[in-house]
Chain A
Amino acid sequence: MREISYSEAIREAMCEEMRRDASVFLMGEDVGVFGGVWGVSHDMLQEFGEERVLDTPISEIAIVGAGLGAALVGMRPIVEIMFGDFLMCAGDQIVNQVAKARFMSGGKASVPLTIRVTSGAPGSAAAQHSQSPESWFMNIPGLKIVVPATPADAKGLLKTALRGEDPVIFLEHKMLYGEVGPVPEDPDFMVPFGEANILRSGKDLTIIAVGIMVKKALEAAAQLEKESIDAEVVDVRTLVPLDKPTLIASVARTGRVIVAHEAHVRSGPGAEIAAMLAEEAIEYLDGPIVRVGAKNVPLPYSPVLEQFVLPGVADIVRAARSFWPAHT
């Protein structure tokens, strides 16, 4: 299979869907002329024109609000929020309007809106441009939250979002844009929501990973293998809906679980996953549920401090070893 980058995979999904369906369009800050601040939508203006690739004013509430309005009248907008950190500017639109339109309209209105958001720390982008905001919205019913970890999933999950009827927050980790991997060319290739992906089978330990931590979990698993710890790595792919059966089945096999995400530990996605496992899989647990995530401080600019605060491969390895105190 040909290999393309995570960024190209997202662009390919958008282009394919825009060619296929005239109601799909893209708008956001600098997505047109500039090709996107991360370059994801390069040359899309040339192909689709100003009517379908729109540069917007610097106002997240306007961007999301316009997307909401368009979606309510039958369009399938993709809106791009340059930094996930800025989602709070569109907070009321997302939380009170986008998420609730179907419920408040008694099911008459749907909002097939895809909010593409960059997330995560790209390195010394400091506290306002580095956050992982997925769990901010996990508490809001009515939103789907998608966290692709590979180029193929980025394409397949985005196409599922664009063809669905629900509002989706689609979180693209900045440090994954350059990741290259095999991506199917089939224009109908889609990855369903709510299906976690077991990327590595193991019998001793389950590492449930979110977004960029999938890659780090696989690296950690390779290290742990040298220590005779056989780790299973599960990519959640979507946080809402969450694939409980796959996660529970994995934990039932291994008895031990680490949940890894780049978001802060406190009330991060891992809190929900850990609580779910404690409720529904407690009998299988052979030790504490361990969370690996960013320390509970704003992300620092200083590279040294940033590396200290962000979770890495070593943190996962250390957490895994903690299950076998005599082993280490």
Chain B
Amino acid sequence: MIEIKELNKSFDDIKAVDNVSFDIKEAEVFGLIGTNGAGKSTILRILSGVYKQESGIALIDGNEIYDNPEVKKNVFFISDEPYFWPNSTAQTMGEYYAGLYDSFDMDAYGKYIEAFRLDKDRKINTYSKGMKKQLAMLLGICSKTKYLLCDETFDGLDTVMRQAIKSMLAKEIEDRKLTPVIASHNLRELEDICDHIGLLHQGGILLSKDLEDMKLNIQKVQCVFKDEADKEKALNGVEIANENKRGQLYTFTLRTTREEAMARFSSVDTIFYEVLPLTLEEIFISETEVAGYDIKKILLG
């Protein structure tokens, strides 16, 4: 388990991480979302032992991380610009990490390299940006560490590769309870993979919630009422996060469960109604609006 409490880190006069607290449970995919400069990479670097926090607590399995090899052998950090030794190949990098991480699975690494069609003897400096990211991910997964910290790792990967890597992560989570922490500035990238989301803004954390919890308690309903009075009846006593009307068609974002929403709308006379799944983006819009932030400005520019 990763515990972060009142974590602070500044670079000269710039507060990169401002009193951040959250926990990351084992075997869950934690998405760290935020704009550029929100503090995502700084937190990952603190968790991987690259940076030392100024104050606060950052613990992995109850232990301090900085300059602690016993903890760091359970953590693999994939930087946003992964470094490979000059003139190294996929094979030599694999051997290098195998020497550093006791748990490194060279057989699995070889199979993945083949599956991803990466030439193991080709010099990495001739790889494309996407290929380097794939390789870094494979090295991280094959190190078989308990925690995998990925900084903008999906950025630059095509859809097919992204899906392939997501499948790999899912398998690792299932097989050995891997805990990936994925930082990204793009909500859409994390939508179908994360279990828990932490939203960072200007060094502070805006919210940290389970995706399922968020999805359970917020519903999008599209509906055409026969009579405006039915609208009052259906929505009486429920919190409306958002409301839109185009012609006769209403779209509501309601803070309630799917069952309750369906019960409310089936109990009134409607021409049409439908409870729709919300995208992560829509959930965030409503959640952060509650907190007084305009998420569109924060995440979507």
A and B are partners in one complex rather than unrelated chains: no
Q: What is A's interface to B at a CB cutoff of 8 Å?
A: none
